[in-house]
Structure 1
Amino acid sequence: MSESFSKKENQKKRAKKKQDKAQKIEERKTNNNKGKAMEDMMAYIDENGNLTSTPPDMRNRKEINPDDIRLGAAAIIEEDPQRSGIVAVYNEAKGFGFITDDETREDLFFHSSQLAQPVKQRDRVTFEKEKTARGFSAVRINKVSK
């Protein structure tokens, strides 16, 4: 029995696929990367944290004392809650002002509702620093008598 044209074409396609597959297997075997030398696979990190193919220079090596390495978060230093400063600006009509902290030299906002006694500009005061939604503010403000 003779074969039809389409059967012959299908057989040719299958033979071609089989040959291509055998060729790919042979290429993989010849281009195999297994068995590389250890030096070819090594990567080093230089003093700046970049990857490099050359080993680091051991002459520039710094000794680190393991006791100097701190693990975990930094310790929280408790501040003295009572601070002192000078009223830098005070708008009595609007009911707010700023106090310059003696220690940090930063200006802290305050509202007149936090005043124990009435104050005016350049008065010396004691206060507590408190974190608010808009930053730090001065609260519990007392005027220092001279």
Structure 2
Amino acid sequence: MAETFSKRERRKKKIEKKREKELRRDERRNTVTQRKTLEEMMAYVDENGNLSDTPPDPKNVRKIAADEIAIAVPKAAPADPEALLTGVISYFDPVKGYGFVVNELTKERLFVHVTGLAQPDTELNMGDKVSYTATRSDRGMQAISVMKR
């Protein structure tokens, strides 16, 4: 019985697909068996912070003491810890008796309560320039001894 054209074409395509699949499988096996050496896998960082495949020149190596490395930058502390900080009232609600002051130097936002005012009869409004002392409360930093300037 004679094979039709379409059957012959389908059979050719099937054989071709099988051969391509075997080739891909052989390539995968070859890449797995061809392992790179440690030196080929190494990457180096140059003096500019870029990755490179060449090791750094040992002549240019500098010794750095561990205590010279700054892990974090500390917040700037005032020169005199007893000195009053200055800031601007960013929000104050006289009905509820609380608000916030923003430090002029660090832009840190601190909580202000009417009980923290130096003179209890002082009225604070948004935009008022004040001087204060910062203290840590159980909920974060708080301004106490707040006085208008």
Q: TM-score, normalised by structure 2?
A: 0.49
Q: Structure 1 length as normaliser, TM-score?
A: 0.50
Q: Bigger radius of gyration, 1 or 2?
A: 1
